[in-house]
Structure 1
Amino acid sequence: MRGWRVRGRGILLALLVGAWGCGGASSDEAVDEACAGLLPGDLVITEYLNDPEGTDTGQEYVELHNPSRDRVDLRGLALYAARSDGSQEKAYVFTQSVPVAPGSYLVLGDVREGPRPAYVDHAYGEALGALGNTGGLLGVRCGERVVDEVHLTAPARSGVARTYDGRLVPDSAGNDDPERWCDGTGAGDAGTSRGSPGMANAPCESKSTPGGPAADAGVAETCVPDGVQLARPVARPRPGELVITEVMANPRGDDTLGEWVEVLATAPVDLNGLTVGSDSAGTKVEGTRCVSLAAGAHAVLARRTEAVLNGGLPQPVATFGVDLRNSGGVVMVRSGDVLIDAAAYGPAEEGVATQVSALLADASRNDSQEAWCRATEPHGTRGDLGTPGRANRVCSGGGGADAGVPDGGVRSDAGTPDAGVADAGVDAGTPASGCIDRATGRSRAPRVPDAGSLVLTEFMADPAAVTDAMGEWVEVLALRDVDLNGVSLSSGSGGGTVLTSTLCLSVRAGGRALLARSDDVSANGGLPAVLGTFSFNLANSAGSHMLRLSVDGRLLDAVTWTAAAVPGVASQLDPSRSDPGRNDLAGSFCPAPTGARYGLGDRGTPGVENRPCAP
């Protein structure tokens, strides 16, 4: 569930956000009275059939799950479908009572005439038209309040339902991640369709870790592995599974022949279909053969594959056609619209690659300019310095700048003029005061939060599903559009972390950011997407404790507590007190209710609106 989403009603949303910040009217004014008591997460979309065999008409269905311990009635709610950009929306409004028992599943079907199939509990007829076979939005809302929304993805073939991973507790934040969906495996009651309408889903087959993406992950593209003739689904990397570790932007000789980028795989992945390039252009990795990397393997992507032309590189796995600017820039790897990794580099010294310290080669730590330094080992036939296809050296000081090389980058006193195509356009690098916008790929000034713009709304100090060192987390609500770059999260005992990234750590007004000890879904208990990580412990024992958000020494928000943490239960702010003043009042925080569970089963509502505290 992606929080509050209003199409064509920006003024209304702005007014609502202003009301939250000033302690004014509740956001419930924009909901239908019949369903006003439903909050985001009270219903979860867990399965859909958007591409039946043959004609779609009359065969599509949507499955809803009630994860709470209370009965939910759909009266007043709207089931809607739209294109991915929110246009051409069609909706079905429940005008009569349609109850959903606690913990049960309800199947809504595109049944337009005749009796309903046994697995369909309620028909919405032709109200939604045909669901998008390869993309689109599907959701339920009460007035303007979105209760849950997911992005549709394509099954591997027609007649196969898409299902949320049965390993995980159905969760309206977790189901935003397309990697947690996979093709259904059972026949169920849907005849020839593979799915499990009305029943709990089977676990997705993970390619690497429990709770990870399914083998097909909704990607219909296939490739043929070496040594075999049968094609298999492409195993595209998730963010963090492919890391940019070295960049040669200014080789000796012709740049259009000798530029290269090195990547490191942290899990078994295929590069097929990925786009490699800069902030303004990219080249897609094509081919019917699988371009596969094992976990821990390095690979080189270059302008040319012929060793006689590229300066004697090890065999590149693929080529790209984008000019890497000598004045500095950014290298990006994308999978469709998903940014897998990005790295900024400074002015390039001729014949010298810039590389990530071997100790900092992951997709989070390589965002810091302090992680990069100049290469020192010669390679190839032209005397260039770099380690293409091999592990990098440890930079001086364990990862920062080399002595004599400013800012952890390469020297600015480049030698002879570039013999390649002249670099065009403005510098794509990231100035010290800027960040790279994830949507546009371009550098901009960060939106610095001020007092009143961020609210601490929930924290998990003692997870039960995983260890504290992996599963602790803090939720932050933004009351206006902000970036968290430079924001410090700290405890009263002195521990603290400043959030830093080359990319903008953006949170939209009304959105919630998760800060956690780990951003690895297989290790952190199944949290939804984590925006940033912190390294200190949250106290479990009774005593005087504090969490603080600040920026440049200015306090943004703080909360205090004295009670001991309940294992496996988050402490959450009552939604009626979602501002930096009222969250200080006694009784503002309470244990997450029993029916609010996420990931592997701990109690909490990470990334979605909190449940009201009991009187």
Structure 2
Amino acid sequence: MNRRTLARLALVVAVAPSAGCGDSNATSDTDGGSCVAALRGGELVITEYMPDPKGSDADGIEWIEVHNPGTAPVSLTGVGLVSSKADGTDAKGHLIQDSVEIAPGGYMTFGAVTDETRPEYIDYGYGTDLGSMSNTSGLLTVRCGDVVVDEVLYDATRIKDGVSTTLDGQVAPDATANDDLTKWCTAPTDGEPYFTTEFGSPRQPNAACPLAAPESCGQCYDGGVLRDAVGPQAGQLVISEVMANAGLTSETVGEWFELQVTGGAFDLNCLQYGSNTTKFASDPESAQVLQQPECFEVGAGDTVLFSQKQWEETDVVIKLTLSDSPSDSNPSPGVFIAYGGEILDELHYPKPKDGVAWSLDPGATTVAGNDDPANLCLAYNAFAEGDFGTPGAPNPVCLKSPCDDGGTVREAVAPVPGASSSPRSTPTCRPASASRAASGSSSSPPSRSTSTACSSASRPPTSTSPSRASSACRSAPASSCWPAAAPPATC
């Protein structure tokens, strides 16, 4: 807790009587009353304040939150609240004369309202005694006679319209810790407001403050401790699957690509990625960069999913559009990853099919393996609403003619000539678009399942010939309908 001069501690604050709290609560000084609890420094802690409510200060409600870190109730009778400029001048105060108590471990809010008009989130109204808090900088003080129990200095960097300023919820509320401006932040706004459009956590423990961004993306926080990021080495990351053109699910699924970690343990902080290697060669800064305060640690065997939409499997949400055909500015569409301006891996794919990912055979998961088009195949496992791929999961083996054998996709087995005299039926291929449309438009995260896009119009009698296994594909080879329509045929 900052210690000011004795003159500051004995500051006399002239205030006008509060219409809301009555003359009994107004005082001509905040250190002249008798503090029932005889508090010492640090026995109460300021943990949150709202200096800039929505609208004008006259319309909104400013408030201060105080926490009792002790194990016993604390009487607030005789405690003074003071608001002043950052240098302590222009101070205004309010002396609590009512019988008010704050429970052990409890939080209490004091607001610029009358007791008759205070909303539920305000425990005690001090009327207009503190005036209007500054929206740029100021000093808030809790006093017990001549003792400064706690005080907080604030500045404009952590003040936001309609959002309270909170002490980091990861820090135990302490009258010394709250002297550090870096331990304060604006309250999160991604949840429910506590009142109409105002955000904060009055009368409750605070949320954790986001970590301050390191000075460079080459550093990251590991368990709250700042350290240098460990970058990947050549060959440790391989692009293993790419959805360059999502199908009917584009609004909820979108495009994505996937990396496999083939060795080592390192951080992905500072990883560069993009879809135009030609542009990257002349302008390395054109790549997108993975930046986050926390260390993004990965190890051998991990799968890392970069996607335009946030799913349960997503590791990195990207703002990247993948190309599906060559152009003058991007003659070789693909995906690349780089570190420090040096490309680690790149995958250039043939023209994609709508809603079908290009998948790398797991036996070729190397930076050289994905250079060979023979190791790429069109994905045959359905996910989400009917697109095909295995985002966030290991790739299945590439199949030339995949077919569905009772829920298991396998290579189709060609019939043995002369094994059966029964004519084989021709499979009826349901278009992939029809399959997707029939499944609806749910925005739930992708769930991987096996597709049955092609099915036989009629099945021949089961052959008893020993030369033909009962598990043989009982439709024409899947290549007759895949990939022209949708994968895979039914065995």
Length-normalised TM-score, structure 2: 0.38
Give the structure with higher Rg (CA).
2
